[in-house]
Amino acid sequence: MARIRLEALRHSYLKQPARDADWALKNVDLQWQDGGAYALLGPSGCGKTTLLSIVSGLLRPTSGRVYFGEEDVTGQPPDRRNIAQVFQFPVVYDTMSVYDNLAFPLRNRGVPPAQVDARVREVAALLDLEAMLAQRAAGLTADGKQKISLGRGLARSDVNVIMFDEPLTVIDPHLKWRLRSKLKELHQRIGMTMIYVTHDQTEAMTFANEVVVMHEGAVVQVGTPVELFERPRHTFVGHFIGSPGMNVLPCEVDNGVPRFAGVPVPTANAATGTRAGARTEIGVRPEFVRFADEGVPVRVVRVADAGRHQVVETRHADTVIRVLLKEHETVPAEHAHLAFDAAFTRLYVDGWVAGETA
C-alpha cells in the first residue's frame, strides 16, 4: 500500500511532437493518498486513459516520473508494480472456469495451491461469485465478467491500487448502479486505493472522495464533489459538472465591477487579474439564479419539466441563461429579471477563476 505521486508528467504519442495539440498529457502533477477513492473525470480525448496507462505501467511517459511511495516506478512493467486494472469491456479468459480465472494471477506468481484456493474463495465471497466458481467464464453476463476482472485484481494480496477504466461501459443501464454500489462497498471494506476513470460525472461523483477533472491533457481541478460543484475553478468544470451545467455569461469589467448587459453583477471573488484583451466571464449555476423584480433583463424562451424541478431557459440577446426552479414555482410569462446569488457567482478570466492562478 502506498501513496502515488505523479511528477511533471508529459506524454505524446507522436515521435516528434510539435504543437500543443500533439501532447496527450501536457503537464500533470498529482498526489493520491493511500486508501483513497479517486475519480479521473473528463470528456473523451482529455488524456485520462493515457494517464491511467502511465500509472499502471502499460505506457511509458515521454517525460516525468511516477512514484509509488518512495520508489520511482516509471520504468517498471505492470506486473512489478502490484497494480490491478479493470478495463472498459470485460476481459476474461474464455476457456477457463471462474475459479481458474481468479486463480490465474496467483498461479502465475507461483503461489502454493492451498493458498490459491483460500484466496480465490475469499474473493469470490466478496464479489458474490461463489455460486459460479465452477462455471465457464465465457457464460457469464457482462457484469459477472467485470466482477471476474475485478476479482483477478483483488485476489493478489500485494496489490497497491486498483484502476478502473470506464468499467461500466458495457453494463446494462439498470445494472450499472448495482455494480457501482458494489465497488463503493468494496472500497469501504478493503480500504485499497482505487482510481476510477470515467466521462460520466454521476459515476465519478458517487464513487470518489476526490475527483480529478481533466481537460485537453491537463488537470483542471482536484477536489471533493461538493467543491467541484460549488466552487469550480475553471469554466470547463462548471460546464461539465452538473446537469444542467453552469451558466457562462460574457461580461465587461468596469472599474473592478463585472457588468452583464449593463447591470452590475456582484461576485464572490474580487475582479483581480483582468488585463486588457482577456476574456472575462461570469459563471453561476442555474441553482443559484432566481427571478427577481430587478436585475438582468431577459426573455423567457422555454420551460423543461424535469420531474422534481423545472429548467427555465431564458435569453438576453444571444446569451442563454438557465434557471432551476422547483416543481411548483411559477414561471414568469415572457419578460423578467434575474438575480444571482453572489456567494456562488464568480468572475472568470480566460476560463480560470479570477484571483487564483491556473
Q: What is the contact surface with another protein in residues (CB under 8 A)?
A: 56, 58, 77-79, 83-85, 87-89, 91, 93-96, 104-105, 108-109, 138-139, 149, 152-153
Please answer whether residues 140 and 133 qualify as being in contact, where contact means their C-beta atoms are separated by less than 8 angstroms.
Answer: no
> Cα 63 to the chain's mean position, in Å?
24
First to last CA, the chain: 31
CA-to-CA separations, 273 to 147, 268, 318, 354, in angstroms, rounded: 50, 15, 27, 6
CB of 85 to another protein, least distance (A): 6
CA-to-CA separations, 285 to 17, 124, 290, in angstroms, rounded: 38, 44, 10
CB of 197 to another protein, least distance (A): 13
Give Dmax (Cα) for the chain.
76
Set of cell numbers at residue 84: 490491478
Q: Which helix (H) or strand (E) holds 37?
A: strand 37-41
Between residues 1 and 58, which has the closer beta carbon with respect to another protein? 58
CB of 101 to another protein, least distance (A): 9
Between residues 12 and 85, which has the closer beta carbon with respect to another protein? 85
Between residues 31 and 95, which has the closer beta carbon with respect to another protein? 95
H runs (alpha helix) in the chain: 48-56, 78-81, 98-108, 113-126, 142-155, 173-190, 201-207, 225-230, 235-240
Between residues 58 and 278, which has the closer beta carbon with respect to another protein? 58
Between residues 37 and 83, which has the closer beta carbon with respect to another protein? 83
CB of 95 to another protein, least distance (A): 5
Between residues 75 and 139, which has the closer beta carbon with respect to another protein? 139
Between residues 56 and 235, which has the closer beta carbon with respect to another protein? 56
CB of 16 to another protein, least distance (A): 17
CB of 193 to another protein, least distance (A): 16
Set of cell numbers at residue 298: 431577459
Please answer whether residues 232 and 221 qualify as being in contact, where contact means their C-beta atoms are separated by less than 8 angstroms.
Answer: yes
Give just the sign of the alpha carbon dihedral 28, 201, 247, 267. negative
CB of 28 to another protein, least distance (A): 21
Between residues 12 and 56, which has the closer beta carbon with respect to another protein? 56
Environment class of 117 (CB within 10 Å of its CB; exposed 0-12, middle 13-18, buried 19+): middle
- Residue 210 half-sphere exposure, CB side, CA atoms within 13 Å? 14
CA-to-CA separations, 342 to 54, 284, 326, 333, in angstroms, rounded: 41, 9, 20, 25
Please answer whether residues 152 and 105 qualify as being in contact, where contact means their C-beta atoms are separated by less than 8 angstroms.
Answer: yes
| Whole-angstrom distance, CA of residue 171 vs CA of residue 324 | 31
CB of 121 to another protein, least distance (A): 19
CB of 149 to another protein, least distance (A): 7
Between residues 85 and 280, which has the closer beta carbon with respect to another protein? 85
CB of 78 to another protein, least distance (A): 5
| Whole-angstrom distance, CA of residue 16 vs CA of residue 88 | 30
Between residues 58 and 253, which has the closer beta carbon with respect to another protein? 58
